[in-house]
Amino acid sequence: MLSPGEAQKRCEALVERARRAGADAGDAIYVANASESIQVRLGALEDVERSESEHIGLRVFVGGAAASIGSTDLGDAALDELASRAVAMARLAPADKFAGLAPEELLLRDTPPDLDLDDPMERSPQALRHLAEEAEDAARSVVGVTNSEGASASAGRGLFALATSHGFSGGYAASSHSISASVVAGEGSLMQRDYSWRSTRHAADLKRPAEIGLEAGERAVARLNPGRVKSGQVPVIFDPRVGNSLVGHLLGAMSGASIARRASFLLDREEEQLFDSAITIADDPHVRRGMRSRPFDGEGLPTGPRNLVEGGRITGWLIDCAAARQLGRQPTGHASRGSSGPPHVTASNVVMAAGTVTPAELMADIADGVYVTELIGHGVNGVTGDYSRGASGFRIVNGALAGPIAEFTVAGNLIDMFARLTAANDLEIYRGIDVPTLRVDGMSIAGD
């Protein structure tokens, strides 16, 4: 893996090759990753995995047309061929009036912020194995746990660099450390499984392995002997580990590309009151050590914090440069890049602000409802907002949890769900999209 400085120079050299080959403009990206993972099961080593990859990608523009190409060979001869092939491809491609680099006047010119994303600490395979064993031992110590699907610990490092033909060059490295455990409770056809995990940029920020394992074990045991629930319309409480998916659907619908294609359930609803006025959803790419933090976006534009929803109203779309040209707007610094192809929109560290009541108070007046801890399937229509997903969790009776339930479906429409959403005060930030416990009234439950 190259250093950030070396990666920038390699991208700059590739862009220069493309210009010499006949490109009007272009940009190059370098993406590299290295990781090591140890998995144990039932106290024994089950898997050791080490992976390394690096990829350089080139996007060129010739006469209004664009082409993208990539390679894992970073040698000079390979980059010469890459540049000439990309230009030849663009000359055969149809023109795209919306394609192009970011406006030069909008590029990040200041020194990128230091977000402390790269942890210099390296963990040995032996240390990773010890972490995984500690997590699994704690999970298996929970009374009622009968088997294990394994526990794992991993550490890795990634690097991203971008250079454009009109003057931007930047790069940064980011590390990751994670621990997970998944165990089974019960026997035979009554078995239930559950899990827990944590992932951080710095090893020092990780939750203790024993806490992760204990949480996995307790969750699995709590799901034993699930009952069924009757069909009807009831209040639904979403646990934070599944409630964040509702915000994920919102982000997808806020994509400028979806709006430009008129394929979003938020079409013509910009600045409309979608949530209660107490709801705020913020996007902050400058969180120090944040799992989705980044000093610049995938087109070389500066990033910065923004409220996506304020006072219950959407403040605008998430727009890359292509969508900005289609919509006649300014890009918002939300472009992201993979190892090849054009940019696409992604948010960064997204957080729904905590409410003012505890989870217990949130459900205190529910005579009959459900508490969802797991969602199954992908029954969400991004165009209409229709929502229907399989679920499991717990029944709520007279304001308290009243035993596990499974094999039911929760359904509604996201516009209606957002309008009826209330947030508790138990916000915990570690997932990338984070929400407190959420309540949505009037959802349809399909069970017995």
Q: Quick one: 235 and 169 in the same domain?
A: no
Do 155 and 123 touch, CB atoms closer than 8 A? yes
Do 236 and 439 touch, CB atoms closer than 8 A? yes
Q: Quick one: 210 and 269 in the same domain?
A: no
pLDDT at 109: 92
Residue 45, domain CATH: 3.30.2290.10
How do residues 315-357 score in pLDDT, each as one tens digit? 999 999 999 999 999 999 999 998 778 899 999 999 999 999 9
Q: Quick one: 176 and 291 in the same domain?
A: no
Helices (H), 64-206: 76-92, 125-140
pLDDT at 448: 84
CA 373 centroid distance within chain: 19
How do residues 353-405 score in pLDDT, each as one tens digit? 999 999 999 999 999 999 999 999 888 999 999 999 999 999 999 999 999 99
List, in sequence order, every beta strand (DSSP E) within 315-399. 335-336, 344-345, 350-352, 368-376, 386-397
Query: What is the β-pairing status of strands 400-413 and 145-164?
Result: unpaired
For every one of its 448 residues, what pLDDT tens digit does the chain have, with 9 covering 90 and above? Answer: 899 999 999 999 999 999 999 999 999 999 999 999 999 999 999 999 999 999 999 999 999 999 999 999 999 999 999 999 999 999 999 999 999 999 999 999 999 999 999 999 989 999 999 999 999 999 999 999 999 999 999 999 999 999 999 999 999 999 999 999 999 999 988 899 999 999 999 999 999 999 999 999 999 999 999 999 999 999 999 999 999 999 999 999 999 999 999 999 999 998 889 999 999 999 999 999 999 999 999 999 999 999 999 999 999 999 999 999 999 999 999 999 987 788 999 999 999 999 999 999 999 999 999 999 999 988 899 999 999 999 999 999 999 999 999 999 999 999 999 999 999 999 999 999 999 999 999 999 998 8
Helix (H, G, I), strand (E, B) or coil at 381: coil
Helix (H, G, I), strand (E, B) or coil at 213: helix
Number of domains in the chain: 2
Do 348 and 303 touch, CB atoms closer than 8 A? yes
Q: Quick one: 50 and 69 in the same domain?
A: yes
Q: Quick one: 126 and 260 in the same domain?
A: no
Full residue range of the structural domain in which residue 129 is found: 4-221
**SS3 of the chain: helix, strand, coil, percent, to 5:** 25, 40, 35
φ, ψ dihedrals at 234, nearest 5°: -145, 165
Q: Quick one: 264 and 124 in the same domain?
A: no
Domain final residue pick, 173, 188, 221: 221
Q: Quick one: 276 and 302 in the same domain?
A: yes
pLDDT at 112: 92
Q: Quick one: 180 and 72 in the same domain?
A: yes
Place of tokens 């005060």: 425
Domain final residue pick, 194, 221, 248: 221
Q: How far apart (Å, rounded) are the C-alpha atoms in residues 179 and 52?
A: 20
pTM over the 0.75 mark: yes
Q: Of 384, 380, 381, 363, nearest to 372 (Cα)? A: 363
Q: How far apart (Å, rounded) are the C-alpha atoms in residues 187 and 194?
A: 14
Q: Quick one: 434 and 362 in the same domain?
A: yes
Domain final residue pick, 160, 192, 221: 221
Neighbours of 107 (CB within 10 A): 19
Q: Quick one: 133 and 280 in the same domain?
A: no
Q: Quick one: 403 and 438 in the same domain?
A: yes
Q: Quick one: 252 and 365 in the same domain?
A: yes
Query: What is the β-pairing status of strands 192-200 and 313-314?
Result: unpaired
